[in-house]
Amino acid sequence: MPETFGDLRVEIRRLVSVTIDDDRFDDDESLFERGRLDSIAFLTLLQNLEVTYGIDIVGSEMRLETFRTIRSIAAFVASRRGEAPAS
């Protein structure tokens, strides 16, 4: 498991890269607005996050803002794991 928030971002970035079969994006790029995540890829990513980090993501948590960028996804995962995100 990651030791820092930066490590978590690297892991999340890897998961997204595998999910969308592309690694040409940065941590603050909107994955939806750039067309990198569509509905099927989004559901796959949610499943991968749940399995990888042992968390359950419920419907009320599936907000665009939460999953818009690598940084926001990492912050969400960190908060679900009881960790405080710090750059």
List, in order of start, the domains of the chain with CATH numbers: 5-80 (1.10.1200.10)
State the pLDDT at residue 15: 94
Residue identified by tokens 């490590």 is 7
- In sequence order, what DSSP letters do the residues of 22-68 get, joined into one string? -----TTS-TTTTTS--HHHHHHHHHHHHHHHT----GGG--GGGGS
State the pLDDT at residue 23: 87
pLDDT tens, position by position, 2-61: 668 788 999 999 999 999 888 888 899 999 888 888 889 999 999 999 999 999 999 888
